[in-house]
Amino acid sequence: MDIRKVKKLIEMLENSNLEEIEIQEGEESVRLVKSNGNINNISSSQSVAVPQMSTSVTPEEEVSQESEEGNFITSPMVGTFYASASPGSKPFINVGDLVAEGDVVCIVEAMKMMNEIKSEFSGKVVSIKVENSEPVEYGQALFEIAE
């Protein structure tokens, strides 16, 4: 892959709200992840770390984040939420189900890649915060889990 393309991708990532970009050309792939200078090695041909840009949180956002208590499974990326492995199949989890840490709870599609999202908590599913096939943002709450 041409280094000019990689530099252009880095610029695009720095100037966007995205946390990561992954591009594949034939057998070559590049994954760029915003971080604090740490390189994340994730089974790709090349990984490049981009310095994290500072963002300000408005007082409204701080209040809403503090007022929500409980364990939330959040989206690790921007993409499309899918509750089941394929259309027509049953959802991975429903409200009232018990989940264990490490259980697959949904799929988030990003850049034509299906990413299984696993539970970080064990407990009972209290609520599902998004609808099937709905776009999700990085850090958006997907599920609430009660211990």
Question: Would you mind telling me the total number of residues written for the chain in this entry?
Answer: 147
pLDDT of residue 127: 94
Quick one: CATH architecture of 69-146? Beta Barrel (2.40)
| Greater pLDDT, 9 or 49 | 9
Task: Give the tens place of pLDDT for each residue, 103-130.
Answer: 999 999 999 899 999 999 899 999 999 9
Q: Pairing mode, if any, of strands 79-82 and 20-25?
A: unpaired
pLDDT of residue 128: 95
Of 12, 22, 76, residue with least CA distance to 45: 22
pLDDT of residue 35: 66
Domains of the chain, by residue range, sit at: 3-51, 69-146
pLDDT of residue 15: 81
